[in-house]
Amino acid sequence: MEPSGFQRLLSRPEMRVLMLVLLLTPPAVVSYHQVQTDDPYITYRYARNLIEGRGFVYNAGEQVLGTTAPLYALVLALGGGMTNNYPLLSSILSGIGLAALSLLIYRILALLREALAGGIAAVLVVLNPLMGDAFGFELNCFLALIFGAYLAHLSGRPHLAALLLGLGTLTRGDGLVPAGLIFLSALWTQRRFPRGPALIYGALVGSWSAYAIWTFGSPFPNTLAAKQFMGESGLWRPYWYGALRMAYLYLQQSPLYLFFGVAAVLGCVRLRQVDRRIWLLLGWAGLIFAAYSAMGIPAAANYFAALMPFLMIVCGLGVVQLQQTLLNRWPARRWKGLLPLFLAAPLLAASLTSTAKRLQTHPEPRYWTYRETGEWLAAETPAGTAVGLAEIGIVGYFSERPIVDICGLVSPAVGTHLAAGDPSWPIRTYRPDYVLLHDPVWPALEGPIAAASWFQQDYAPVRKFAGEEPYRLVLYQKIR
């Protein structure tokens, strides 16, 4: 009996990868939605303010671009017309982006004649715990747009590539790097300037840049300068050190992570055999790592998550390299089909172990404490009450109160003072009605505020918000 059309369709490798990714993505979305980190709530507040008529601002009346993801905020605002649950909406978008990214990784590697490595990398990306930590951020959608642009470029569709690169750059400014690489590649291979694609990309990015300069005074988000000032302050771990520490922490969770190191080394060996066009993709990751380190950007989990697709690609190649080595030595056909799964099993087990452990503490301990604090402020304080604090995302979103940002993400004047080692400047200068400090205080960032004589004279504790260390909070009210 001949197989049915559906059976023949499923026998195709790309359909197997598609079905596997589609099966894994929904439970991943349900699990990762529980992460609820702080920073995405800044973008949610921009989206809500926009749809509710207060403008594309964080604090009403303050024209500051304090989100790294302007296009993503606009998409969320459009979705806000249907639901005001921005965290859930963002998780759904993150899940769609994650599935698309995984499938695009497979298609790119299949195009480069490394389909098996692409399938392995696609599954590893869906299950990667750091990609889960990035839920709520714009990262997954951004990566899907840029990987889509790479696939379009490699497939000879330059206009589509330019469109996706433009949308990617508007989603996250990092898109300038892959856009530059792809345009340089097109210029080198075609020996002429790609005028049409350049016009498409320029129209998208140029239009936004003109609007941002007119509205905010710069096409770049204030967060870029703020992160650099944070790095200069010495109060945060540097990017390169954070990468090493992240690897150490995951190794503590499971020794199986050593297999990622082995796979990565073997993948680098296999890169000598792979179509050289893969370096156009991997070069992007190298440039981003170098740029973040050079600019002094402090360590953050979502920055490392951006590197995970590239690492998973190299690890997928490493699994294939190990498979070929074993088959060359023991050419047994019986277990040939199961060998890739067997070799990738330690990588999958390590990822699932971390995800399972992470979910035991989700939502993050800070989430409920910060949310309770924000909701209390919304219910118990007048609408114009200003609040100063360090982590402004969740508290700011639920309180809907004007925020004085100690870290300067939405308060541009703070940055130079923070870089000079004066984290108390925004509270001392703006004198908000309330100040939130952790209990115990975060020594480097909040310690100078709590210890200052002027703060002790002018502010008094009025309420504590229970939670796990280091996320308990004490609310201080200005008394004079």
pLDDT of residue 33: 78
Assess whether pLDDT exceeds 90 at residue 27.
no
Please tell me the distance from the alpha carbon of residue 119 to that of residue 406, in angstroms, as a whole number. Answer: 44
Specify the length of the chain in residues.
480
- Give the least confident one: 46-50, 198-202, 329-333, 369-373: 329-333
pLDDT band per the 50, 70, 90 thresholds, residue 10: very low
Assess whether pLDDT exceeds 50 at residue 6.
no
Residue 355, token pair as written in the block: 């995800």
Question: What global pTM score does this model have?
Answer: 0.93
What ranges in 274-430 are assigned the alpha helix state H? 278-295, 301-305, 308-329, 339-359, 365-380, 393-399, 414-419, 425-430
pLDDT band per the 50, 70, 90 thresholds, residue 363: low
Residue 445's closest CA among 421, 474, 478, 412? Answer: 421
Task: Kindly state the average pLDDT of the residues 288-298.
Answer: 89
| Beta-bridge partners for 403 | 387
pLDDT of residue 316: 96
Assess whether pLDDT exceeds 90 at residue 32.
no
pLDDT of residue 336: 65
Assess whether pLDDT exceeds 90 at residue 354.
no
pLDDT tens string 302-325: 889 999 999 999 999 999 999 998
pLDDT tens string 219-278: 999 998 999 999 999 888 898 888 899 899 889 888 999 999 999 999 999 999 999 999
Residue 303's closest CA among 369, 238, 259? Answer: 238
